[in-house]
Structure 1
């Protein structure tokens, strides 16, 4: 019996999801809020030599890389808090009449963390100064969030297979590689690895890059991250994170890319793996004609690129030192492997001629009864089937096994560009673009349709704009806009003939494909043509206000997401042959 099954999935689908704005109001007793996007905070208490608190102390922080300064002051309780600080190394200065000037250098501020630096002032003239090495409390005493920061040193120094920094998440307690299914698919960008946080599913982790959402909302897998030389650091929050982190309940990964400074810096890199330097797998087969040597995998993987950043300086036109900075990065990946080989079952030479005498059971005639001697007369052959077998399925040398090979090459390119602009001392803007492009070539052996590989492309584009405005030392505003799109189209090398050309009277589109399955020999599937476009827009605004012991944060965030699926999966039907035939 022969079945033709057109698939109802073969249609154009459009899915639009609209996430309404959510406004949240938080009132916390003396607990500074961690900035959601890309920043850090610093807090502490200022006392004199007797331990009494000192109000009205002017606090100045200076970024040692960009010379940007941020100011605050202690309140009546002697405490101070300065928020929305770009991650980096800072110098702190505390000044008050009747006390010596206090200076502390080397204060490292990390993403989503509140560094605590308590200050003790000494009586004296303001012209006198006391310089100390900063004593930063690294244990989180400001809120109940459980978080770990994977800093730049670990990102750059620890070995990573494939240079994927997200692998470092597994250094965090409670985080493990997700072993379940349903998170990634063929349209997911290659190389992304979902993780489980505290036993949650792999699609319950929220990934944020420079403040913008970095999730593939088709199945909530992560989108690609920049290479380690372009990533500053990232924090992993595993429990008790603030309500401003919505979307997912499992965990929060908040990553920040590098920025330029007043010094021009750059790197160039090239990492190489080559099969001539690797030992063959213990279970690898012997080389053809050399039974005493094992066949290697033929792997040649090159990862190369460069980064650069500094001030924007146009001689005679514009000097951007202390205010305008750029950073850029490129990474290319090229993977070449020996084509993969496998065995498939095909018709024996006798069966191709209609002789099934070795079948071991009676061969039923669709017209009734059985074929005498299990031999099908040539007059009963369907011309289209005979043409397909003779031209597109190879005959085995012996038995019914043949060896097929398929290409396994892969190219990947990542580009990143970032600009930072300081407008005076109170307004700062950061804009970043990130582009990832990957390609896998396809093939279809014109004489063997069992040798086929889909043509795959993966494209991810991400833009983020972040504006921070210090209205006053106690009132801060942050606005963010982002756009993220992911696309994973699949195509195939089209067969030279379609079903109508073989005499099968069905209507098909121009994307010829064959999809056939059998009980005793290997199936044939020359591939499908489909497209999975995902887009997401994000706009948010957060205002933070500090008064006395209390901090209040209020704002809103808007998301608009589109999933546009164009899929002709099995659009030209599927043919199945069963034992009952």
Structure 2
């Protein structure tokens, strides 16, 4: 076995990410943060600041609250809010109770809320029903928030949420749009942002890295969540915050939905019926029917409070949500116009080719002899027929795996194996489970587990174990997050993420452990190759459809740890922290190359014919 391990372990440390806000700024968003902040100042009718005001920020869907008290400047912070709609209540004896509802908090957004309290009894309410939208005044980064309505209503290829990255100014998709599918991770984030190279931007889910490395250091999306689970996402096209790194261009941060106090769910199913598609003009003109295909997508979500009857009531405290998406697809795969030997050719009979010209004459290499002038000559096979005694028995067994021609092809027998009905099946399933828990009024945690499997089989030209490849992507993710309010002015956030992504291609499973002695190879040769990597051998014949190609297994791992400390100190808001990432990639090439690769090029055929004419013979038929 030939292994080619390669471990790349760049330790990306944003060392002591220190961001000191200017005096008067109410706060700042954290690095790679998927949550938002509501902060602001409370004043009285004369414009004076009011300290000691109790401010309660409540998630309207979950019913969870964060409490704060204004300081001597009348300032209050409410950080690390899950994107959603919030209510803010401000109370102080001697003033009317202030209530504002319907405040939308988005990804990585800091909203500045200016509250004015009116003198009066606390029992009296001043409810703000409609007001001007709150502005984000503390973040200089440029970008575009794609909200839940756009995610739900705008058309997306195969439901892929990353297809909406192009809504951000300066973002342009430069990859093949045909592969803009959730199970094609190399292509779906192929965006150039403000002129940077494609596949060079960072992608996070709830602030946790969701990227893997690919060819030439490209960044790919290692996990794509079910679309109904996406709350919204933000594409930051210019990141001035020192907390952002590991990117040439922008940062795309998806925020997933959380469970709420009400049990709720979604479900969908879509299909593309082949009968409703029209054939094109040229196919009709050549009597080529429209290829049949399958394309189905389904999924949904379910979420709510964690309820264990008689044991635990998680309403207002513990929430769950689960999302799933499945795709079943079988699209036509054009294999061009390959060639396979005819029935006569595999028995050594090439007589029909003589009518095309003398250049198709085959010569017996065992009659080669020296003649004058330092040249060699050899005798032609009578009638261009190779005697059965000269046909190699291993070659004859291998040719049994080559199917017969499907079409007449060209006069010389080439191009006789067109398969317009050939399909490439794909089965894809994506899952995510998220749990949110309020430990106390000072501590909140969430955990998420995500995974998907994509399996496909393609290039099965012969319909047997001699061809066909299993191709797969397998993603596993874990995210853990803890927010701890140490006191009224200090909040600590700690986050861990683990991402494992595997790309795998191998010969069809039917060929695993293939016994080479069934082809006539000696047992000594068969036993030298470990069974776990033994496959049907690789046969390359110039001008003919060959057998399997080599495979590989390429697992990548990304581990990340982030700690951020937010501190309000008088007229300043301070933020410091660090992020650590470890990337590891291992390549292992294996499969039928270790079993044997047999190449037969036209220039080296021992048949006495020039290398330029058409495909006169699979040369392996010679002993």
| 1:381 shift after superposition | 4.5
User: What does residue 457 of structure 2 align with?
Assistant: 441
User: What does residue 87 of structure 2 align with?
Assistant: 91
> Please, what is the CA RMSD of the aligned residues?
3.3
| 1:73 shift after superposition | 3.6
User: What does residue 392 of structure 1 align with?
Assistant: 402
Quote the Cα distance in structure 2 between the aligned partners of 1:346 and 1:74. 81
| 1:69 shift after superposition | 1.4
Matches within 5 A, 1:104-253: 104-133=100-129, 135=131, 137-179=133-175, 189=185, 192-218=188-214, 219-253=218-252
Match of residue 33, structure 1, among 28, 41, 58: 28
Residues 466-494 of structure 1: CA deviation (Å, up to 9, x unaligned)? 11111223211111112111112222235
Quote the Cα distance in structure 2 between the aligned partners of 1:447 and 1:150. 45
Taking structure 1 as reference, are residues 388 and 424 closer, same or farther at Cα in structure 2, changes over 3 Å only? Answer: closer
2:395 aligned counterpart, secondary structure: helix
1:167 aligned counterpart, secondary structure: helix
Taking structure 1 as reference, are residues 150 and 268 closer, same or farther at Cα in structure 2, changes over 3 Å only? Answer: same
2:29–2:37 contact (8 Å) kept in structure 1: yes
Matches within 5 A, 1:265-414: 265-285=264-284, 291=287, 295-337=289-331, 340=334, 342-347=336-341, 349=344, 352-354=348-350, 357=354, 358=356, 361=359, 367=368, 369-372=376-379, 375=384, 377-378=386-387, 381-389=391-399, 392=402, 394-395=404-405, 397=408, 399=411, 400=413, 401-405=415-419, 406-414=422-430
Does residue 1:255 correspond to 2:270, yes or no? no
Residues 497-520 of structure 1: CA deviation (Å, up to 9, x unaligned)? 64994559966554224434444x
2:461–2:468 contact (8 Å) kept in structure 1: no
1:345 aligned counterpart, secondary structure: coil
Quote the Cα distance in structure 1 between the aligned partners of 2:283 and 2:2. 40
2:364–2:380 contact (8 Å) kept in structure 1: no
User: What does residue 528 of structure 1 align with?
Assistant: 550
User: What does residue 538 of structure 1 align with?
Assistant: 560
Does residue 1:549 correspond to 2:541, yes or no? no
| 1:426 shift after superposition | 1.1
Query: Given the two structures, how large is their TM-score scaled by the length of structure 2?
Result: 0.82
Task: Identify, as 1 or 2, the structure richer in strand.
Answer: 1
| 1:131 shift after superposition | 0.6
Does residue 1:464 correspond to 2:479, yes or no? yes
User: What does residue 515 of structure 1 align with?
Assistant: 538
Residues 188-224 of structure 1: CA deviation (Å, up to 9, x unaligned)? 6487342121111122111111221100124421123
Does residue 1:563 correspond to 2:585, yes or no? yes
Does residue 1:19 correspond to 2:11, yes or no? yes
| 1:167 shift after superposition | 0.4
Residues 383-418 of structure 1: CA deviation (Å, up to 9, x unaligned)? 433443465253564532223443311111111111
Taking structure 1 as reference, are residues 70 and 503 closer, same or farther at Cα in structure 2, changes over 3 Å only? Answer: closer
Residues 340-366 of structure 1: CA deviation (Å, up to 9, x unaligned)? 564213456569525564466487876
Match of residue 70, structure 1, among 63, 66, 73: 66
1:403 aligned counterpart, secondary structure: coil
| 1:313 shift after superposition | 1.7
1:250 aligned counterpart, secondary structure: coil
2:189–2:199 contact (8 Å) kept in structure 1: no
| 1:430 shift after superposition | 0.5
Quote the Cα distance in structure 2 between the aligned partners of 1:549 and 1:359. 94
User: What does residue 443 of structure 2 align with?
Assistant: 427
2:398 aligned counterpart, secondary structure: helix
Quote the Cα distance in structure 1 between the aligned partners of 2:500 and 2:142. 31
User: What does residue 613 of structure 2 align with?
Assistant: none
1:13 aligned counterpart, secondary structure: coil
Residues 407-451 of structure 1: CA deviation (Å, up to 9, x unaligned)? 3111111111111110121110111111111111357566878x8
Match of residue 474, structure 1, among 477, 481, 489: 489
2:5–2:587 contact (8 Å) kept in structure 1: yes
Flag the structure with larger Rg.
2
Taking structure 1 as reference, are residues 101 and 238 closer, same or farther at Cα in structure 2, changes over 3 Å only? Answer: same
User: What does residue 6 of structure 1 align with?
Assistant: none
Query: Given the two structures, how large is their TM-score scaled by the length of structure 1?
Result: 0.87
1:178–1:201 contact (8 Å) kept in structure 2: no
Taking structure 1 as reference, are residues 14 and 119 closer, same or farther at Cα in structure 2, changes over 3 Å only? Answer: same
Pick which of 502-511 and 9-18 moved more.
Answer: 502-511
Residues 511-535 of structure 1: CA deviation (Å, up to 9, x unaligned)? 224434444x134131334211122
1:162 aligned counterpart, secondary structure: helix
Residues 11-58 of structure 1: CA deviation (Å, up to 9, x unaligned)? 342425151644222323245221333310123333333334434433
Taking structure 1 as reference, are residues 346 and 359 closer, same or farther at Cα in structure 2, changes over 3 Å only? Answer: farther
1:392 aligned counterpart, secondary structure: coil
Quote the Cα distance in structure 1 between the aligned partners of 2:276 and 2:176. 34
Taking structure 1 as reference, are residues 384 and 113 closer, same or farther at Cα in structure 2, changes over 3 Å only? Answer: same
Pick which of 553-562 and 422-431 moved more.
Answer: 553-562
1:297 aligned counterpart, secondary structure: coil
| 1:82 shift after superposition | 2.2
| 1:163 shift after superposition | 0.7
Quote the Cα distance in structure 2 between the aligned partners of 1:390 and 1:479. 62
1:118 aligned counterpart, secondary structure: strand
Does residue 1:579 correspond to 2:600, yes or no? no
Taking structure 1 as reference, are residues 342 and 20 closer, same or farther at Cα in structure 2, changes over 3 Å only? Answer: closer
Quote the Cα distance in structure 2 between the aligned partners of 1:180 and 1:268. 29
2:507–2:535 contact (8 Å) kept in structure 1: no
1:476 aligned counterpart, secondary structure: strand
Please list every run of 5 or more consecutive structure 1 residues that lacks an aligned counterpart in the other structure.
1-8
Quote the Cα distance in structure 1 between the aligned partners of 2:296 and 2:452. 17
Number of aligned residue pairs: give it: 564
Taking structure 1 as reference, are residues 446 and 500 closer, same or farther at Cα in structure 2, changes over 3 Å only? Answer: same
Quote the Cα distance in structure 2 between the aligned partners of 1:184 and 1:90. 35
Quote the Cα distance in structure 1 between the aligned partners of 2:289 and 2:176. 33
